[in-house]
Structure 1
Amino acid sequence: MRQKRFLLVATQQILFLFYLILTTFFYFLAIRQGNEGVTFRFLGGGDDGMFYWEESQKIAAGQEAILTSIYPLIIGNIMRITGIESVYFIRIFNYFGFIILTFLGLYLIRLFYKLEQIKLGRDLNPIYTSKILMLLSFVCYVSLFMNISLSINRDIWIYSFYILSLILSIKVIFNKKNRFLFLILLFPSLWLLGEFRGYALASFIISIILYLLYKGFLKLRRPILTLTAFITVFGVYYTLFMDYSIPYLDMSLRGALNYRHSAITLYSGGSQMWINLDHPFFPVFFINYFHSFIGNLIGPLPWHLSGISTLFIFLFETIPMILILLFIWKKRNLLSKVQIYVLLHAFVWIGLIAVTNDNIGTATRLRAVGWILILIVFVSVYSKNRYFKKKII
């Protein structure tokens, strides 16, 4: 027990040190590129880091700024309050966001075991094993540390607030104690999530609605009928109401598909999947959408390989995630209701990305929330499976 506890603490500290070294390393590389340490442009790619930095400087100086999210407002006010106008200071701020994300992930694992009421007695090894595996998966998840370390973007806070909101919603839905308190805490967390990225809030709300519908349909015990009904309803929406603008997002399905098509036109080449979703015939759309969903979930697929970068992602991310998903499917009988709920959030997140995104590089950045949730479920199921095997022996 002590060895596992020591190994957990040691792995955690190594992970934190690893990410601190990485963000510092890329900070100096970005300075050498002439980007003030804001963004290290890797393989010709760019992001919104420089935009956030410029707008946050305006806020720190008390000037008007363009606010596409709450992120530049937060870092701008932090600089104004502290008097420290430094890119590295903002990188450290985001680094603390990663520490928060890690602790939230560890807490979610413990919550799984607590709500499942698995009688471990004094044997906490399965929990420690799950946590250690999660930390190791964060070390091996290349796109995650690239997203966090290359620039001063807002992504880490989207990940953190999504998982925080997820934990609070689990407390509301699955825990009988203090539900009202956790519901009150959930609202500001969701508000911040939406202020960082409206799409993230939409994904969260859709996931909750689908889970409640899933619970209702589960009582019917007719999965094929349920799936057919869902596809039929979406087919009617696609055919008759695709021009209807969805409140809050202020975008229709056709608008989302036009956005996707414009991205293909403007940034053609590179790591595009070349999947056309703008088709008048719903069955063709559905087939192409399924292709896009799989591509955004585990891409690049073999036919998407176009260079060294996509080959690298295929070898070190696609293949491991395929094995992880196969393991979860094989051991699906070990999934608790809470873990199914978490996986639903992951797949809805990917499902929304699949509507608007056709680029593999963008997919590796956007799907991080879904992958983090899948990894947390995987390490828990893997450790639980080992625990039960040892009990049988």
Structure 2
Amino acid sequence: MKIKNLFSFFFVLYCLLFFLLTSFFYLYSINLGSDGLSVPLFNGGDEKFYYEQALNIASNRPAVLTSIHAVILGWILKLFHTHEVFILRLFNFIGNISILIVGLKILFQVQMERRNLTSGIIFILLISYYPSYVENSSGSILRDCWIIFYYLLSIQILLMIIKTRKLNLKVIYSIILLLSLSLLFGYRDYALLSFLSSAVIYFLFIQRQQSLNRSKKIYFYIFFGFTLMYTFLKSYMFPIVNLSLQDILTYRVDNMELFAGRTQMNISLDQSNVFLFYVNYFNSIVSNAFGPFPWQFKSMGTVILFFAESLLFSFIALKIIKLRRRLNNFDFFLIINSLVWFMLIGIFNDNIGAAARLRMIGWFPLLIVFAKVYGEQLIHKKQLNDICNIENIGAENK
């Protein structure tokens, strides 16, 4: 089968898989008497709350809004004149397809002139398998898939702005980017903070540097800046989220006490000195990005999460490091977005179940980078094998 046909096959298979999963979770929930609202496997969030607020919006009643997600769901119910949950699940199904399309577009952008569909197939297979993504996006009406979509869309549009030299296109793309970022802010405000921080880091330390090795200065600046902030500026209010570092640390401690005995990591960041903070903070970042680890097992769910995700993520990270010579500036932009996101959730999140949901935004850019470099490696090996086979055939003919 030609690679183009194989790519099309897996693309259609992905769409079919998520439609079937969306339908299955809905029917399974109906059978359980949950009215189509499923129960997340890893304490993923209050799905019933969103549905109730969406009903309020659809009926023009006052609603408690934590994001624009309930507003959009409410308008969908109002548009179709129904209270049917399956309509909302189909809305998230559209989000699943949109994520695939935008993810592939980013992948082909970072491939530059060496575009290949093998990497596209790898990316499709990875997100088709990704357990937390599959469960939270097709198994619920939660907002996660749309946060991922608008984050990836913002990355894609910014890459288009960087690559094009036409001023009129830059203006058009910039307007679209502002719209995408506005929706991203509406869905999750600190996701916008992560994206903007990543963009600033990229433009300051990566894009303008002729050598990627010089970008290592970034580690010093981040370390030095964070040390000053933790020591002297704990009460500084960050724009966009309107929270200080002390607010975030207090929120983390309160949650540790509230959910004690559940799937908490029990990593305290409110320390007496910055050295202890960095030790625990590094532990929190790694645990949020790769955990749970064996010493953090609290239930069968955490054990499953370790074998289903932690081992795979560790392999992906090590493979990217091993193939780092294949990375270009755009790849580093994706990696920066992931690192900043992991650093952000590492500050305020201490729950293993929540980490499985929250880290999805950080892993999608890394999955794109992995699909690119691993796909290139597979093609390179195939070309070497073909050359060896030709040489062997030629030697035999002589």
Pick the TM interval, shorter chain: over 0.9
Partner of 1:231: 223
Contact residue 47 and residue 140 of structure 2 kept, 8 A: yes
Partner of 1:21: 20
Trace 1:327-366 onto structure 2 (pairs within 5 A).
Answer: 327-366=319-358
Q: CA deviation at 1:174?
A: 3.4
Task: Calculate the TM-score normalised by the size of structure 1.
Answer: 0.92
Q: Which runs of 5+ in 2 are unaligned?
A: 388-398
Determine helix, strand or coil for the equivalent of 1:22. Answer: helix
Report sequence identity in percent. Answer: 34
Change (3 A) 1:5 1:262: same
Match of 1:191 among 182, 193, 206: 182
Trace 1:51-130 onto structure 2 (pairs within 5 A).
Answer: 51-113=49-111, 116-118=112-114, 127-130=116-119
Q: Which amino acid aligns with 2:98?
A: I
Task: Calculate the TM-score normalised by the size of structure 2.
Answer: 0.91
Distance 2:201 2:253 in 1: 28
Change (3 A) 1:46 1:324: closer
Match of 1:160 among 149, 159, 171: 149
Partner of 2:315: 323
Partner of 1:212: 203
Q: CA deviation at 1:311?
A: 1.4
Contact residue 33 and residue 40 of structure 1 kept, 8 A: no
* Matched positions, count: 382
Partner of 2:47: 49
The answer to whether 1:288 aligns with 2:284 is no
Change (3 A) 1:226 1:86: closer
CA distances 1:282-328 after superposition (whole Å, capped 9, x unpaired): 01101110111111111112221223211111112111111111110
Q: Which amino acid aligns with 1:274?
A: N
Change (3 A) 1:262 1:213: same
The answer to whether 1:259 aligns with 2:251 is yes
Distance 1:60 1:12 in 2: 34
Q: CA deviation at 1:216?
A: 7.6
Change (3 A) 1:222 1:158: closer
RMSD: 1.9
Partner of 2:238: 246
Q: CA deviation at 1:32?
A: 3.4
Contact residue 252 and residue 350 of structure 2 kept, 8 A: yes
Q: Which amino acid aligns with 2:10?
A: T
Q: CA deviation at 1:247?
A: 2.0
Q: Which amino acid aligns with 1:108?
A: I
Partner of 1:10: 9
Contact residue 109 and residue 127 of structure 1 kept, 8 A: no
Q: Which runs of 5+ in 1 are unaligned?
A: 119-125
Q: CA deviation at 1:370?
A: 1.1
CA distances 1:25-70 after superposition (whole Å, capped 9, x unpaired): 2212222333211233536x35221111111111111122112111
Change (3 A) 1:216 1:79: closer
Distance 2:207 2:36 in 1: 51
